[in-house]
Structure 1
Amino acid sequence: MLYGVNLAGWLVPEPWVTPSLFATTGAFDDRGLLDALGAERYHKVVGLHRETFITEQDFRQIADRGYNAVRLPVPWTVFGKEGPMPGVSEQCIDYVDSAVTWSEAANLKIMLVLGDIPGGNEIPEALGSVIGMGSRLRKPVIEVCARLAARYADRSCFLGVEPLDEPVAQKRQGFTMSPGVPLHILRNFYRDCYEAIRGQAGEGPTVILSTAGRTDGWSLFMAQGRYKNVWLDVHPYHYNDLVDAAGPAGIRQLVDSSVAAIEKVGRSGLPVVVGEWSAALPVSSATPTPEGRLAMERVYASAQIQAFRQTEGWFFQTWKTETRLTAWDARVAFSTFERGMFD
């Protein structure tokens, strides 16, 4: 079973992970940072960040803490100007190479995920225009996934590739559909990603597919008779749930919700992995002390870990934050956990 952490905010900068990188720019994501700084300044600032924020020492510390895997978001321009998706990510693939080498040295598995394709939580309806059949971007995005898989297919630590990090699929809401990509477009994109990855990298790498917030719609999808080594990825976040998590009953309700979602997705017949989760709790009716809040987060995290035992594994979001966010920084959230708690 995988017990892992995400390396969010490293190769795809995110303001909640490293707010100092975005301070005074007015940017909210990597593309906005590029626009605000300009290409030359962006290369210097982001280059220094990538060189220093995560190093080989982090991989050793992750392994020493008892984890056995990392999940690494990479930009869709990871191959730079000469790649399928040209962009200002020169040398980014070198950091991915280093991450794979460091994972091998630390005896960690590594999963790669395209982390910045338009159409995530911010503008969910935009994704359809990127991965839809008529999009000029569709083929290059698929090619990036296939090239990543082929590049590392023979490395012992390489687990596989996830084409989309946090897509949002449409859901029926009464007589209307919520914002997001239509599920049939997402499913067709996934099938084509699978074929491209298998064509270039063989059957070794796992193809991990986000459920895009939908626990339904996956029954008999990519059945294992024809498709091999495919996992579905769920992200059971509950910090926005309308649940009073001031005590054990509320926490139990949140964990039961995770279990129900995992079980429902699992009816597809495909293995399930928890690609992201955190110790963040909803706002409660009471106002706990900082120490009390931290204690409840750790109770919640422990219960979630137990709930995830029915999956292929989990990846906490995230390993490191600049401000050591208690519910999101594994160094803080699990600081009192023993290694054996992951077994």
Structure 2
Amino acid sequence: MLQYSLKNLATVAIALLGIAHSAPAPLSVLLNKRGIAFDYNNNKVRGVNLGGWFVLEPWITPSLFNLGDDVVDEYTFSAKLGKDQAYSKLSDHWNTWITQADFNAIASAGLNHVRIPIGYWAVAPINGDPYVQGQLNVLDQAINWARGAGLKVLIDLHGAPGSQNGFDNSGKYGTIGWQQGDTVQKTLDAINGLASRYKGATDTVTSIQLLNEPLGSSLSLDGIKTFYDSGYKTVTQNSQDFATTIHDAFQDFQQYWNGQFTPSAGYQNVILDTHQYQIFSPSEVSRSPSDHVKAACDLGPKLASTDKWTIVGEWTGAQTDCAKWLNGYGKGARYDGTFQGSSKVGSCDGKYTGTVDALSSDDKNNIRSFVEAQLDAYEKHTGWFFWTWKTESAPEWDMQALLKGGCFRSR
């Protein structure tokens, strides 16, 4: 049974090879233990995403996006401020948004993994891009914090050159330019940079995700599969102690992906990642609380029937899209009819606030039931990562706040 408690956190010493956590040891000198350092066959992944840390999203940290209506993502944030000022603001954010205390709290809540999104620009920057660097030094420190807390790390390449989905979570909102020009090769360069940097840390970094949420409906699916093949080879050539995680590209994770990237086809230790949200279409956001629960429960048997390790790498307690700017900077919600082309389902009053305590009793009970149904379903196979650990003002999405408010608890 998971023990979701944030009280009485144990003090975790994170000396590594005799070096205190304040001066982390170079990861290249760490000794490897052969084989993946987590048993994905017999143990369940119970994890959380550290969203909004190394890849900005306006809805997670709206306080950073008070620079004008032309600043809608990390690309325009950096372009508007310029390199020096962007680095100053982002460096402060990287060093304060998630700290060692968060890793300790995550472990004390009964979790065993964190998924850490990062953009290509942190690893393999491209001349002419406005992005700034410095994230990897903080990521090195984070891996040491995870090690000290007993957590495993999945490093997720969240943004690719040109944007693989046009979402602000790719770093650049708007058009989809990935698969054009040399963007795929530059993505592989970033994957190689991550795998090379952390091949000495596979006691803690158990997997590298090749790309977050490529939008299969707008891209070549054959091209995505070719990229996955190349990315798999890139990761495993650096170390066979990594698992390689691939996203389902929003294709049916059972019907489309069964039979692909399996041992019979020459692939070992592949994890399929599917993201399960129920709020980004009119039909989904119109569901009753019981319908949300039923839809979650129905996923369990489908997950159990996949032919490879399968995680739900992103999911939420939200049954509305009311969180401020969730659908993009300055955009409204489908739920209350303020999103362009939508029809009102209900009111978002009280759902924009930053605390779970401010939610109604009905909302809290519905979130709790929805979370518990998803935990049951997603543990039918390999496990899950909740999105996300913390936000400034989106309580339905804020695991830390949901834990404290009794909405995410032992089953």
**TM-score between the two structures when normalised by the length of structure 2:** 0.72
Partner of 1:154 in structure 2? 200
Cα pair distance change 1:94/1:286, threshold 3 Å: closer
Cα distance in 2 between the residues matched to 1:64 and 1:261: 31
Cα pair distance change 1:109/1:87, threshold 3 Å: farther
Report Cα offsets for 1:23-61 as digits up to 9, x if no partner: 133312111111221212111111111111111111111
Partner of 1:236 in structure 2? 276
Cα distance in 1 between the residues matched to 2:409 and 2:243: 27
Matching residue's letter, 1:218: W
Higher relative contact order (CA 8 A, sep 6+): 2
Cα distance in 1 between the residues matched to 2:250 and 2:260: 16
Cα distance in 2 between the residues matched to 1:106 and 1:161: 20
Cα distance in 2 between the residues matched to 1:286 and 1:21: 29
1:318 corresponds, among 378, 388, 392, to 388
Report Cα offsets for 1:194-235 as digits up to 9, x if no partner: 111112x22110110000110142232122131111011000
Structure richer in helix, relative to its length: 1
Partner of 2:157 in structure 1? 114
Partner of 1:220 in structure 2? 259
Cα distance in 1 between the residues matched to 2:257 and 2:88: 44
Matching residue's letter, 1:238: Q
Matching residue's letter, 1:52: T
Matching residue's letter, 1:102: W
Matching residue's letter, 1:219: N
Q: Does 1:188 align with 2:229?
A: no
Q: Pick which of 284-293 and 215-224 moved more.
A: 284-293
Give the drift of 1:251. 2.9
Q: Does 1:281 align with 2:319?
A: yes
**TM-score between the two structures when normalised by the length of structure 1:** 0.86
Partner of 2:374 in structure 1? 304
Cα distance in 2 between the residues matched to 1:203 and 1:4: 23
Aligned residues of 1:274 and 1:315 also touching (Cα < 8 A): yes
Computed over aligned residues only, the root mean square deviation of the Cα atoms, in angstroms, reads 2.6
Partner of 2:179 in structure 1? 131
Partner of 2:118 in structure 1? 74
Aligned residues of 1:80 and 1:88 also touching (Cα < 8 A): no
Cα pair distance change 1:124/1:57, threshold 3 Å: closer
Map residues 14-53 of structure 1 onto 2, 5 A cutoff.
14-26=57-69, 27-53=71-97
Mind listing any 5+ residue stretches in structure 2 that lack a counterpart? 1-43, 321-334, 336-343, 350-358
Aligned residues of 1:7 and 1:73 also touching (Cα < 8 A): yes
Aligned residues of 1:59 and 1:106 also touching (Cα < 8 A): yes
Give the drift of 1:150. 2.6
Give the drift of 1:256. 3.6
1:254 corresponds, among 287, 291, 295, to 295
Q: Pick which of 83-92 and 106-115 moved more.
A: 83-92
Cα distance in 2 between the residues matched to 1:278 and 1:195: 32
Q: Pick which of 329-338 and 91-100 moved more.
A: 329-338
Cα pair distance change 1:236/1:12, threshold 3 Å: same
Cα pair distance change 1:162/1:95, threshold 3 Å: same
2:212 corresponds, among 165, 174, 183, to 165
Partner of 1:103 in structure 2? 146
Cα pair distance change 1:338/1:184, threshold 3 Å: closer
Matching residue's letter, 2:164: G
Cα distance in 2 between the residues matched to 1:196 and 1:126: 28
Query: What SS is found at the alignment partner of 2:314?
Result: strand
Cα pair distance change 1:108/1:85, threshold 3 Å: farther
Q: Does 1:94 align with 2:137?
A: yes
Q: Pick which of 137-146 and 181-190 moved more.
A: 137-146
Cα distance in 2 between the residues matched to 1:125 and 1:218: 28
Partner of 1:177 in structure 2? none
Aligned residues of 2:48 and 2:113 also touching (Cα < 8 A): yes
Cα distance in 1 between the residues matched to 2:151 and 2:174: 36
Matching residue's letter, 1:231: I
Cα distance in 1 between the residues matched to 2:84 and 2:378: 44
Aligned residues of 2:262 and 2:270 also touching (Cα < 8 A): no
Query: What SS is found at the alignment partner of 1:314?
Result: strand
Cα pair distance change 1:9/1:107, threshold 3 Å: same
Report Cα offsets for 1:177-210 as digits up to 9, x if no partner: xxx11211111110010111112x2211011000
Aligned residues of 2:166 and 2:175 also touching (Cα < 8 A): no
Aligned residues of 1:124 and 1:167 also touching (Cα < 8 A): no
Aligned residues of 2:73 and 2:173 also touching (Cα < 8 A): no
Number of paired residues? 322
Cα pair distance change 1:246/1:339, threshold 3 Å: closer
Aligned residues of 2:103 and 2:146 also touching (Cα < 8 A): yes
Give the drift of 1:84. 10
